[in-house]
Amino acid sequence: MIELNLDWRYATKEFDSAQKLNDQQVHQLVECIRLAPTSYGMQPIHVKVISQQSMKENLREVSFGQSQISDCSHLFVFCIQQNTSEVHVDEYMDRLAKTRKLATEALSGYGGMIKGFLSQQSSAVKDVWAARQAYLCLGFLLHTCALLKIDACPIEGFVPESYDHMLGLTAQGLSSVVVAAVGFRSAEDVTQHQAKVRKSTAEMFDFI
């Protein structure tokens, strides 16, 4: 049976700032996000991967001082592409046609269906839809980290407007939604020894 390391992983509170991810590890984590499924395959998201120490320290100041932000090896900032619209669908159809060697015309039905869906949503609803895709990618990242015995902490405790400003996201039509600090736990982090608190299977599931 494959070891999933679900008890080993925890939301790391203290990272060992001396330990860094190597290039292969970064590549594997980037790939797990890139290959994650999204609604229609649209991938209405973008990810900033930050290892620059000065930037991590600046971001910590707008993350309620959480030490994970500056002490982790790499900070993954999940952003949504704001107000997904027809131009994004056209870009996707081009990518699809090139990758699968299809005529763009053959995809007009699929593209039209996605455009139809988007046209019925307000910009705010589309941004929530995009954020759901970002969280799904976050889930893929967290579990891939566990499989690779890399530590991570998902983080919502930050000021998105400040991240948007400091990372120049607004100018790129992006906005930050959730963050993951990734690296290696400190031996001093007492949280790693705490028992998991979860609903029981009976409380959480019905098998019908």
Ligand X SMILES: Cc1cc2nc3c(=O)[nH]c(=O)nc-3n(C[C@H](O)[C@H](O)[C@H](O)COP(=O)(O)O)c2cc1C
Cα separation of 73 and 25, whole Å?
A: 11
Smallest gap from Cβ 75 to ligand X, in A, equals: 12
Smallest gap from Cβ 109 to ligand X, in A, equals: 36
Q: Considering only residues 47-106, where is the footprint of ligand X by CB under 6 A?
A: 66
Residue 175: Cβ within 10 Å count: 19
Residue 100: Cβ within 10 Å count: 9
Residue closer to ligand X by CB (options 10, 129) is 10
Cα separation of 167 and 8, whole Å?
A: 33
Per-residue binding string, ligand X, 146-185, x by CB under 6 A, is -------xxxxx--------------------x-------
Can residue 10 be called a binding residue for ligand X (CB under 6 A)? yes
Smallest gap from Cβ 97 to ligand X, in A, equals: 35
Piece of the chain touching ligand X by CB under 6 A; list 6-14, 78-86, 105-113, 124-132: 6-14
**Residue 134: DSSP 8-state:** H
Piece of the chain touching ligand X by CB under 6 A; list 8-16, 45-53, 87-95, 159-167: 8-16
Let me know: does 99 contact 56? Beta carbons within 8 Å. no
Residue closer to ligand X by CB (options 42, 180) is 180
**Residue 65: DSSP 8-state:** T
Residue closer to ligand X by CB (options 48, 60) is 60
Let me know: does 9 contact 65? Beta carbons within 8 Å. no
Smallest gap from Cβ 80 to ligand X, in A, equals: 14
Cα separation of 78 and 31, whole Å?
A: 14
Mapped onto helix, strand or coil, the DSSP state of residue 141 is helix
Q: Which residues pair with 81 in a beta bridge?
A: 174
Residues that bind ligand X (CB under 6 A): 10-11, 13, 66, 153-157, 178, 196
